Structure 1
Amino acid sequence: MLQANYEQIPLKDYAERAYLDYSMYVVLDRALPFVGDGLKPVQRRIVYAMSELGLAASAKPKKSARTVGDVIGKFHPHGDSACYEALVLMAQPFSYRYPLIDGQGNFGSPDDPKSFAAMRYTESKLTPIAEVLLAELGQGTVDWTPNFDGTLEEPSWLPSRLPHVLLNGSMGIAVGMATDIPPHNLREVASACIRLLDDPEATIADLCEHVQGPDYPTQAEIITPREDLQAIYKNGTGSVRVRAVYQQEEGQIVLTALPHQVSPSKILEQIAAQMRAKKLPMLEDLRDESDHENPIRLVLVPRSSRVDTEAMMQHLFATTDLEKSFRVNLNMIGLDGRPQVKDLKRILSEWLAFRTRTVTRRLEHRLSKVERRLHLLEGLRIAFLNLDEVIRIVRSEDEPKPVLIARFGLSEEQADYILETRLRQLARLEEMKINAEASALEKERAKIQALLKSPAKLKSLIKDEISADAAKFGDDRRSPLVRREVAQALDESALVPAEPVTVVLSQKGWIRAAKGHDIDPASLNYRDGDDLQGAVRARTTQQVAFVDSTGRSYSTPVHGLPSARGNGEPLTGRFSPAAGASFDTLIAADPDTRLVLVSNFGYGFVTRFETLTGRNKAGKHIITLNDGARILTPQISAEPASDRIVVATSEGHLLMFAVADLPELDKGKGNKLIEIPKAKLLAGEEYVVGAVVVPEGSGEVTLYAGQRKLTLRWADLMQYGGNRATRGGLLPRGLRRVERMEVGAAVR
C-alpha cells in the first residue's frame, strides 16, 4: 500500500494560514513601497530590467514590449498588461513628479491617462534621474536574491541616492491597509535630509521649514493651511486640498491648471451638467482651448459683465473637481521589513540610515577592490625587481607557479597574475605606470579608510552627494502653497433665475407651475374628477410650502416643480403624508416673511415662512387642528406691527383687529380670533370662512355670498374694528351667508 504524501490539517488552520500568506504577499511584494528606494517590486523590476537591456538615458529606446517581456519572463511572472501599465505610469509626466521612464509614442494624456497605445507600438528608455536609483547597483550596495525560478538573481532593492519614496510618492491597496504618499519637491526633500544630518534632534516643525508640503505634477494651488500640513507630517495621515488656477481675460475666465489626476473632459462634463440642469444661470458658454502650447486651457464665458465671477468660481470649486481633496497615508515598508505609517522625521531618518549603510557598503566594496589591486601590483613589482630570475623559472620549470611562490613569497593570486602578464608589460615604461597606479591606489585606500573610520567624514560625504544630486536633478516647486478657505457652494436659490410663476395645486394633490403671474388657474386643464384646490404667485427662487389636513407642513423649491403644460405630478411622489391626509393649502414667500395661520375654528397665530420649510419627507407639525377643523389659506403680513386682520364667519359676523394681537409661534393652535358659540361650532352651523390681512389705512376686502358680493374699503372696515376674540359686527342682511372673501390691492 502506498503511503499518502500529504498532510492532514483542519480546514480552519489551512484557510487562516493561506489567507495570512496571501495578505503578507500583497503587503510586502505588491502594494507598498520600500522606504529605501521608494519602489514597489514591479517598479523595481522594470527599472532593473531596463538597465540590464542597456536602456540608459543616453541609449536608443527599444520597444516597450521587449522590456515587458524581459520583466515578466525573468523577474515578475504576472500579467503583461498590468506590468505595461506600471511602466506607462512611470513615464507619464502628469502622473509622476519625476518620471523614471522616457516614453516615445502614445503614453496617454491628462484627459485620459489610460488611453496609451499598445506596448508593441511604443518605445521607452530610462530618464536621466533613474541614475539616482541605478548608479551604485554594481558596487556591492545591495543584496541579491534568486528570481522566481532560481535561474537568475535580482536586487532586493535599488541603492537610491535620494529618498525616492517621497519624490514620486505611491498609491496602493493591500489587505487591511493602503498607502497614499503624495509627491514632493526634490530640492525641499534634499534640504530636509541635510538638515537632519546636521541636526539629528531636529523636530518635524524644523523639517517642515524645508518640506513645505506635497508638490504635485500640476500647477494647481495647495490651499491646505500650513499647520494642517504639519499635522499630516506629524501623524502620517490626513488630506491635502488642491484647487485649480484661473485668470480673467477680456471678461472670460480661463482655467490654466487643474488638480492632480483631474481630466479636463470631466470638468467640462460636470459644468455642462449643471448648465443643463439650469443651476448655472450666470454662465453662458464653456470651451476647451487646450493645445500643445497650453496643455490646460478651459474657457468659461459669463452671461454678462455684472456676474460675480469670484462667487461663481467658489461655487464651481465646491461642486466640481476643480477643488479636490487628496488623502495622505504615509504607509510603507520600513528597514525592519514591516509596514508602518511613519511621520516625516521617521521616514527621513530611516532613509538616511539606509543611505549610510549603502555608502558604507559601497566604500567597503571599493576598498576591497583597491586592496586586491594593490596586492597584485605588489606581486608585479617583485617580478620586475627579479625579472631575470622570474624568466629563468618560467622557462626552465615544468610547474613554475609553486616555484615562484616559494622563491619570492608570493600568494597564489599574485603568482597567477605574474604568469598571465604579457611580455610587453615588462617594459621599463610599464613599471613606471605600475608605480604611479599603486601610489594613486594607496592614496585612495587611505581616503576610504579615513571615511569609514570617521562618522563625521562619512556624513559629510553623504551630504555632498545629496547636494550634488539636488543641484543636478532638482527644480522649482510646481504646486504653489496658497492659504485659502474651503470653497462653499452658492445657495440653490442664488443659482436659479428669479422668474415669476404661478404654482397650482389640485384637489387631488397634483402640483405644477405656470410661467408668469397672469395665469388663470381655473382655466387650466385638470385630470378627470379633479379640479383647482389653490394657487399662489411665486418666484423661481422661492420655496413653496403645503399644509395638509392634519396640520403638517411640507416644502419644495419652486424651480423644481413640473411645468403647467401637463397635469403636473402628485405631491405624494415628493412627500409622505399620513394615510388619508389631503393637501389643503399652499403658500410661497421669502424665509423671513411673516404669515398668519388660521383654522376655520377661529384660532390662529403668526409665524415665519421658514418654519414651514424643511427637508423631511414626512413634513413637520405646524398647526394643531381640532377634530373637523381645517386650515385656511395662509396670509402674508408685510408689517405685523401695523397690519390688521379681518375675520368673517359663515353667519355674517365680521371682525377686524391688529395682527400684533396674535402671538408669534413656531407651531401650535394659536389664540382665538373671533367668538363663535361652541354649540354652533361643533355642529358645523357657524365657522370661519376667511381671514385676510390688510394694511392699516388702506386696502379693501370683498366678500362673496352666493351671487352677491360686498366690497369694504378702509372706512367701512373701521366700523367692524374691535378687540380680538370678540363677536364682531353683523354684515348687512343678504350678505350674512358669506362663502369666501378676498383682499384687494393695497395702496401704501
Structure 2
Amino acid sequence: MPDFETTDEGFERVSLRDYTEKAYLDYSMYVILDRALPHVGDGLKPVQRRIIYAMSELGLKASSKYKKSARTVGDVLGKFHPHGDSACYEAMVLMAQSFSYRYPLIDGQGNWGSPDDPKSFAAMRYTESRLAPFSEVLLSELGQGTVDWEPNFDGTMNEPATLPARLPHVLLNGTTGIAVGMATDIPPHNAREVASACVHLLDHPDASVADLCQFIQGPDFPTGAEIITPKRDIEKLYDTGRGSLRIRARWQRENGEIVVTDLPHQVSGNRVLEQIAQQMQSRKLPMVADLRDESDHENPTRLVVVPRSNRVDADEVMTHLFATTDLEKNYRINLNVIGIDGRPQVKNLQVMLTEWLSYRTETVRRRLQHRLDKVLARLHILDGLLVAYLNIDEVIEIIRYEDEPKDELIRRFGLSAEQAEAILELKLRHLARLEEMKIRGEQDELTAERDGLQETLGSEEKLRQQVKEELQADAETYGDDRRSPIVQREEARAFSETDLVSSDPVTVVLSEKGWVRTAKGHDIDPAGLNYKAGDRFALAARGRNNQSAVFLDSTGRAYALMAHSFPSARGQGEPLTGRINPPSGATFSGLLMGEDRQRVLLVTDAGYGFVTVMENLISRNRNGKAAVTVPKGARIMPPLSLPEGEDLQVAMVSNEGRMLVFPLSEVPELAKGKGNKLIGIPPARVQNREEMVVAVAVFRPADELMIRAGKRRMTLSFRDLEHYIGDRGKRGHKLPRGLQRVDALEVIPADDGSEDAKGAGDGE
C-alpha cells in the first residue's frame, strides 16, 4: 500500500511511483479476475455469466419465444455489466455460434455470422435469441442455494458469483482470453469423454493424467477437422497445462477431384481459397487447374481443388497445401483459470478436474442441504396443521373469540410461531376431512425424502455416488459423439523449387566473359553456340532442369543457381555476376551439376585435393560459400564428377610430364578445405609457376586412359599403367618422350556407353 501523508490543507499526498504502481496492480487484478479469465467452477468469464443469468431472469428459456437481442444486452449493461454494448453483444454472439462453441449456450434467430466471417453477424436490434437447451447444465440448480451471491456494480441487486454447472463446462466449450501478464487458451472437449474422466476420478482420486487420457482422447472441436498431434504430445500438454495442437482439414477424392469437407476450427474457407489462388497466380501450383467453392446448406464446407491431370498425385498436392495454407493450423493451449481459491493458475488436467469435482460436490451438498431445510420446514408446518385438524373445533373457537389468536394457539397447543401463522392462513375450504388425509400423505412423502437426504448428506460415499449418477445422466442427455478424430499423419512439406520444375535434360553453358545460359538436351556442342564478339566458350555441365548448377570461382568459393532460371541458349544468355557477387578479379574455374549426393573431386594445380558431395557446395547466398582453400600461387582445376563403382583410380600429370596413379580411396572426404597432397610438387615451384598439375582423370580398372599431347595420342589399359602406380603424395614417373607436354587425360569407358564415365575426365 502507498504511504499517504496528510497536509495542513487536508489533502493526502503520495508519491507518483507508489500511486501508479498501486493503480496498475489494481487494474491488472480487475482484468484478470473480473474480465479475461474463466472460473473453474462454471467455465465462464463474468460477461458470459451475466448474459446467461440475465436471459434466465428475462424468462428466455429454451422453450420460450425468442426476444430481441438488444433486450438482453440492455438488461446486462443496466443491471450487471457497465461496459460497452458492442463487446457485450460480441460475447453473446460467440456463445450462439455453433461453429465457435462446441455446445452453444444461446439459440439465435437471424444472422449470427458464418464460418467464413464470424464477425458478419447482424446488429442486435435485428437478431433474436433465447437460451439453448444446454444452458440448463448451468442454470437448472441456480435457485436452490447452490452458489454464493454478491452485489452488482451499484449495489441495487445481487448476482451469482458463479453458476452451478452440472458438467465441467470449463473444458466443454473452452475459452480464450488475454489479461495483464497472462492469457488463457482452453480448447473445447467432448462431454461424454470428460464426464467419464470425472467418474473415474471420483472412483480413483489418485488417478494420473495418463489415466485420465484413457478417457479424454484430446480436444474435440466444433468442426470435424483432424487432430494430428501425436498422443504422447497431447498427454504432455495435459500434464503441463501448456502446449500446442495441430489440426488438419479433412478431404477426399471424388471423380479425380480433391474435395475438402472439414476445415480447422475458426478457419475461413474463403481465406483458404484465396491462399491457393495466390499460389496458382504465382505459378507455385502448376499441377492445379481450377478451384471451386461448392459450400451450401447441406454441405457447409465443400472446397474443390481440380488437378490438371489424372497423373497428379493428390496426396502430394494436399501435403503442400497443408504446409502453405490454413488447411493445417497450430493452436496454442494454455489451461489458465481462476481456481476455487480465487487465484489464477495454469492447471494440468488432473488438478482442473479435481478442483471442479470439489466445486461440484460442494454444490450438490448445498443443494441437498437447501432441500433438506425446505423439507424440515414443511414437515414442521404440517405437524402444526395436523394439530389444528385434530382440534378443529377448539381452533375455530380460539380464532373467533380471542383477541390474540396466534398467541393463544401457541400457548394452548405448544405450537411455534410459524405453525400458528400457517393455521391462521388456512382457507375455509381446506378444513374438509379430505385435507387431513392429504397432509398425512404429504408427511409420509416428505419424511421419506428427509431420511434419504440426511442419509446422503451424512455419507461421503453416498454423496460421491449422487454426483457420479448425475454426471452420467447429464452426459447421456447432452453428450454426443466425437467430431474431431485424432489420427497419425506425416509431417506436411511444401513443394520445393525443384519439385515444381520438370526434370528435362539440359546443358548449362558459361562463356569466358561470364555469360550463362541453358540449352535443352545433352547432345549440343557448347563451343558451337553463338557468342558475343570477343567472347567464347569456357565451361559447360550436363544435368537436369530441376537441379542446381554450381559455379566454382578462382578463389575457391562456390555459387549455386537453379538451372531452369537461366535464359535459353537460343540467345546469348545473361551476365552471371547479375545473380551472384564473386570477389573482385575472380574468374570461374569450374561448373558442376548433379544430385545432392553426387561425389565430386576438387583439385588445385598445387597437387592438393579432396572428395566432397554436391550438397556441400550448394548455397543460395549471393556471396557463395567457401569450398576450396587455394594454396599461394596455385589455381583451381575443373572439378570432376565421380562415377559410380568401387576401386576407382586417380591419374594426375604435371607439366613436367610426370604421371602418378593411385586409388581414389586414399583421397580424404571433406566438406571444404585444402585437402591432402595428391602428387608431390614442391610449394616453391608452384608459387613461381614452375611446376603444377595440368591434367586429372578418374577411371575404373576396366576403363582405358588416353593421353593427349599435341597431335599425339596414347591409349593405356590399367595393366599398362603399372609403372605409374604409386602411393598418394609421390612425384610419379616420367611419361615417354613426346608425351611429356600433356594437354588432357581422357577416360574411355569399358562399355562405351556410360555418360557418367565419359564426363569423369573430359574437364568440361
Q: Same fold (TM over 0.5)?
A: yes
Tell me if 1:475 matches 2:480: yes
One-letter amino acid of the structure 2 residue matched with residue 169 of structure 1: G
1:37 match: 42
Q: CA deviation at 1:345?
A: 2.4
The change in CA–CA distance for 1:378 and 1:521 in structure 2 (over 3 A counts) is farther
Deviations 1:592-645 (A, max 9, x none): 323333435565444332332246665443222233433233233325755776
Distance 2:63 2:490 in 1: 47
Q: CA deviation at 1:367?
A: 2.1
- Superposed, 1:294-305 pairs within 5 Å as 294-305=299-310
The change in CA–CA distance for 1:549 and 1:258 in structure 2 (over 3 A counts) is same
Among 244, 259, 281, the residue aligned to 1:239:
244
One-letter amino acid of the structure 1 residue matched with residue 176 of structure 2: M
Tell me if 1:447 matches 2:449: no
The change in CA–CA distance for 1:552 and 1:129 in structure 2 (over 3 A counts) is same
Distance 2:686 2:451 in 1: 115
Distance 1:193 1:55 in 2: 31
2:667 match: 663
Deviations 1:437-466 (A, max 9, x none): 344333332332222222232222222221
Among 130, 136, 143, the residue aligned to 1:138:
143
The change in CA–CA distance for 1:718 and 1:599 in structure 2 (over 3 A counts) is farther
Deviations 1:351-396 (A, max 9, x none): 1211111111112222222233333333434444444444444444
Distance 1:128 1:61 in 2: 13
Distance 1:587 1:686 in 2: 27
Tell me if 1:200 matches 2:213: no
Q: CA deviation at 1:128?
A: 0.5
User: 2:527·2:536 contact (CA, 8 Å) conserved in 1?
Assistant: no
Tell me if 1:188 matches 2:219: no
Among 38, 46, 55, the residue aligned to 2:51:
46
User: For this pair of structures, how many residues does the alignment match?
Assistant: 736
1:118 match: 123
TM-score when normalising by structure 2 = 0.83
2:108 match: 103
Tell me if 1:89 matches 2:94: yes
- Superposed, 1:565-584 pairs within 5 Å as 584=589
Q: CA deviation at 1:157?
A: 0.2
User: 1:501·1:515 contact (CA, 8 Å) conserved in 2?
Assistant: yes
Q: Partner of 1:70: helix, strand, or coil?
A: helix
Distance 1:318 1:74 in 2: 49
Deviations 1:116-167 (A, max 9, x none): 2332332222111110100111111111111112222110000011111111
One-letter amino acid of the structure 2 residue matched with residue 555 of structure 1: A
Q: Comparing 712-721 with 424-433, which one deviates more in the overlay? A: 712-721
The change in CA–CA distance for 1:395 and 1:688 in structure 2 (over 3 A counts) is same
Q: CA deviation at 1:472?
A: 1.0
- Superposed, 1:293-692 pairs within 5 Å as 293-397=298-402, 399-488=404-493, 493-503=498-508, 534-559=539-564, 584-601=589-606, 603-614=608-619, 619-639=624-644, 641=647, 660=664, 663-666=667-670, 667-670=672-675, 682-683=687-688
Distance 1:401 1:702 in 2: 137
Q: CA deviation at 1:419?
A: 3.5
Q: CA deviation at 1:326?
A: 3.0
Q: CA deviation at 1:486?
A: 3.9
User: 1:675·1:727 contact (CA, 8 Å) conserved in 2?
Assistant: no
Among 77, 80, 94, the residue aligned to 2:85:
80
Among 211, 222, 225, the residue aligned to 1:220:
225
Q: Partner of 1:24: helix, strand, or coil?
A: helix
One-letter amino acid of the structure 1 residue matched with residue 641 of structure 2: I
Distance 2:572 2:403 in 1: 116
Distance 1:358 1:710 in 2: 105
Q: CA deviation at 1:70?
A: 2.0
One-letter amino acid of the structure 1 residue matched with residue 265 of structure 2: H
Distance 2:409 2:530 in 1: 122
TM-score when normalising by structure 1 = 0.85
Q: CA deviation at 1:48?
A: 1.0
Deviations 1:487-511 (A, max 9, x none): 4556654443213444455777676
Q: CA deviation at 1:276?
A: 4.7
Among 10, 13, 18, the residue aligned to 2:15:
10
Q: Partner of 1:90: helix, strand, or coil?
A: helix
Q: CA deviation at 1:189?
A: 1.5
Distance 1:222 1:451 in 2: 42
User: 2:324·2:494 contact (CA, 8 Å) conserved in 1?
Assistant: yes
Q: CA deviation at 1:334?
A: 1.2
One-letter amino acid of the structure 1 residue matched with residue 456 of structure 2: L
The change in CA–CA distance for 1:711 and 1:120 in structure 2 (over 3 A counts) is farther
Among 276, 287, 294, the residue aligned to 1:289:
294
2:234 match: 229
1:706 match: none
Once superposed, what is the RMSD of the aligned Cα atoms? 4.1
Q: CA deviation at 1:562?
A: 7.3
Mark the runs of 5 or more structure 1 residues left unpaired by the alignment: 704-708
User: 1:698·1:747 contact (CA, 8 Å) conserved in 2?
Assistant: no
Q: Partner of 1:421: helix, strand, or coil?
A: coil
One-letter amino acid of the structure 2 residue matched with residue 18 of structure 1: A
User: 1:675·1:726 contact (CA, 8 Å) conserved in 2?
Assistant: no
The change in CA–CA distance for 1:365 and 1:682 in structure 2 (over 3 A counts) is closer
Mark the runs of 5 or more structure 2 residues left unpaired by the alignment: 1-5, 726-730, 755-764
One-letter amino acid of the structure 1 residue matched with residue 667 of structure 2: P
The change in CA–CA distance for 1:668 and 1:231 in structure 2 (over 3 A counts) is closer
Q: Comparing 673-682 with 223-232, which one deviates more in the overlay? A: 673-682
Q: Partner of 2:560: helix, strand, or coil?
A: strand
